[in-house]
Structure 1
Amino acid sequence: MTEGEIDPVNLETQIVAFTTALPASSGLPDSVRSNDLVWLLHLVGDAHQPLHASARFSKALKKGDQGGNLIDVTPPNGQAVKLLPVGMGFSAVTRRPPVQSETVC
């Protein structure tokens, strides 16, 4: 992506995609539909988190802080970590697992 270009994949597009996949009539296997339900719940929760609804921009962060993912903080244990996982309480996996084909015998 070039500077100034808007990412076509965002919270709204993903909520629509995951919601569309949920009904049995979507034709998708249960394994995909259950995965999409989990991600739908995760994204709706993310939409209500301040770090997901804003970004910090500066001379050093011209493209923003990616919702806190680029900001280091040092908790009492002294080991620097990224801000977003601290705020969420865990390191979130942000990739959707590949869909495995199902063989019907």
Structure 2
Amino acid sequence: MVIATVVSAPFYALLPISQSTTVYLLYVFLANLSLALSWPAFQELGFMNGLAATSYWAGMMIGSASSRSIWDIFCASMPYYLASLTVFLSAIPALFIKR
């Protein structure tokens, strides 16, 4: 799970520099493909799956609501860079989970 999250982060950082719609869609596909590889692990976790899905969609709503302000204040690429950073940082707490 952690590896899939870390692998997907660079694709989110590449989104603002994509030169065409095809390349943009390719980056989105690769980012989501790497996250989809961890889906069986989420299914085994039960409650954790619900928590992860809830936090994911809550983050999507908060990110969508705040990205326009970030776009206006900083630059057009900043929402993508922040999304990449938060995806990468979300993998760090999982490193401290002991089984």
TM-score, structure 1 as length reference: 0.34
Q: Which has the larger radius of gyration?
A: 1
Higher relative contact order (CA 8 A, sep 6+): 2
TM-score, L = length of structure 2: 0.35
Structure with bigger helix share is 2
